Every structure is written in C-alpha cells, then in structure tokens.
Amino acid sequence: MSQTETKDALRPAAATKVTPQTLLQSKRAFTPLTALTAYDYPTARLADEAGIDMLLVGDSLGTAVLGYDNTLRVTMDDMLHHARAVRRGTKRALLVVDMPYGSYQVSIEDAVRNGLRFFKECGSEAVKLEGGIAYAPHVKALTQAEMPVVGHIGLTPQSVHRMGGYRVQGLSEMDAMRLRDDALALEEAGAIAIVLEGIPRELAAEITAFLSIPTIGIGAGPDCDGQILVFHDLFSLSFTRKPKFVRSFGDGRLLMERGIRDFRDAVMAKTFPDDHESYHMPKAEIVAERDVASTKQREVSVCK
C-alpha cells in the first residue's frame, strides 16, 4: 500500500458533522461512539481527522496538562483558553467542554452564565457537568437556554474529597439504585448523553439498556454506547497511577524521551544542525562579501 493509500485508509468514511442527533442515531443503530479528551490544537486536529465522534475539553486538563493533583483548581479561564485552541482544531467532532468545579455548584444562574461563555467565547457545542439528581435542575436550565448538556455520574473526580479518593462507585445495591435514579433524572432533564465513570460493568449495561440517550463509558465496561479515554492515557503520557481501565494505544512517552535525548546528544556532538539544515547566502553575495573582505585586508596592510 502506498503512503497516500495508507492515509486514506485511516481517514473516516463519512465526514458528516457530529451533532447531538448523531449521537442518538448511533445509539439506535448500535454503532459505538468514540470520544477522547483534547486540550490543544494539534491533538484536537489529529483526533478529529481520525474520525473521533466527540472531543471533550475535560477538566482533566488539571491533572493531564497543568500538573495539579486533582481537577478542583481548574478555573473557567483555564477551560476557556484550552477550549478555544481545541475549537480551532475541530471540524467534524462534537465539541463538548467541561464545566469546572465551582462554575455551577453555587447556583443554576452560575451554571447558565458560565455555560454561555463556552458557547459564545469558544464555539462549544455542548457542556458537561458532574452530578446526578441534585444537578438535574441545572441541566434543565442549560438545555432551556439552548445549551446541550452531557451528564457525568459514578466516579465523579470533582467529588474526590467526598468519595475519600477515586473509588469505584455503585458497588452496593443502594448505591447502584441511586445511580440508576441519577441517570433517569438527567435524561428527563434533557441531557443528550451521560458519561458513566468507574462503575461495575453490569450496572453500566443496565443503565445503558434503559436510557434512550447514549452512555459513554470510562471504566464502566464494554456495554456502554460509547467509550471515552483521556488523550494522555492513550499514549502513556500520564504521570499519575494508571487505573485498571486504561489501555495504552502507543508509547508516546518512550518516543518523546528518546527524541529529546537524541536532540540533546546531537547538539552536544555538534551534528545538529548540519549543512542541509542551514540557510546559505546566494553565491553572488558570497563573492561580493569576499571582495569587500580582501579590500579591507589590503587597506589594513597599506596603513601598516
């Protein structure tokens, strides 16, 4: 296969824009949905051009990119900055932006006001927020203000302190019942999809079966309508502990480590840049410069 043919084979067949309606159609057609987080222009472009259906500017930005221990310190300004970059790299995928901690917990008005900023200032096509029944009124208000919302239940990283760490949720029947109720409440409030994170496979399958909107799983087993992973986890670029559900699809870390070391070695050995990597003066200029130099040389020796 030629290089162009390989490139074509990697390109998705249909480049039709993904909308909330597409997600629904995919669920009905049992076509798996693909989603990835993105935080910048180049990775958004790569994922979009590879045919990923949904790009999420996740507040995992805090841990994956900004070096925080958790997502709680991520601000509206952080999210807006990165969402604008991802917008520039995204054409086909549905662009979803996470509402960071503190941007919707205080009031429904906050949720709508902050949600609007993502649509007006970064071209977001949906927002995502963490929480179940307690946040159904927020989801409803955002939806009424023409902002599609993706819900997120189960292991919700913004609840890290309440949960006492990142723990699998829904393990007891009572907990599972609460999550079923959360899922239903979000659907009724108008959510276009729900992320199910860190829950038993059996519970995720059950929720997926009774909802009419798609579920997108992360650590929730293979029976969800779609799957999402954090971009940096996909390429072993995360410095945090690797959860059980993460599969590395390429060793980006090794590639980068090697590349950085090779660059350093080449500079130290003075083999980079070589002559081909250097600009050259036009030949005529070199001759002229040589003439000027030799005239100057002659003048100096005459003066002596």
Q: Which active-site residues does the annotation give?
A: 197
In the complex, least distance from residue 271 CB atom to ligand KIV, rounded to whole angstroms: 41
In the complex, least distance from residue 66 CB atom to ligand KIV, rounded to whole angstroms: 12
Burial of 9 (0-12, 13-18, 19+ CB in 10 A): exposed
Q: Give the footprint of ligand KIV on residues 46-65 (CB under 6 A).
A: 58-60
Is residue 43 at the binding interface for ligand KIV, with CB under 6 A as the rule?
no
Is residue 37 at the binding interface for ligand KIV, with CB under 6 A as the rule?
yes
Residues 178 and 194 sit within 8 Å (Cβ to Cβ): no
Q: Give the footprint of ligand KIV on residues 262-291 (CB under 6 A).
A: none
Give the amino acid at 160. Answer: V
Helix (H) or strand (E) holding 97: strand 94-98
Spatial separation of the C-alpha atoms in residues 220 and 201, rounded to whole Å: 5
Polymer length in residues for the chain? 304
> In the set 98, 125, 225, 233, which binds ligand KIV (CB under 6 A)?
98
Spatial separation of the C-alpha atoms in residues 53 and 192, rounded to whole Å: 14
**3-state class (DSSP) for residue 226:** strand
Is residue 79 at the binding interface for ligand KIV, with CB under 6 A as the rule?
no
Is residue 169 at the binding interface for ligand KIV, with CB under 6 A as the rule?
no
Is residue 158 at the binding interface for ligand KIV, with CB under 6 A as the rule?
no
Nearest residue (CB) to ligand KIV, 157 versus 200: 157
Nearest residue (CB) to ligand KIV, 127 versus 147: 127
In the complex, least distance from residue 268 CB atom to ligand KIV, rounded to whole angstroms: 39
**3-state class (DSSP) for residue 217:** strand
Spatial separation of the C-alpha atoms in residues 115 and 94, rounded to whole Å: 16
> What residues make contact with ligand KIV under the rule CB under 6 A?
37, 58-60, 98, 152, 195, 197, 218, 228, 230
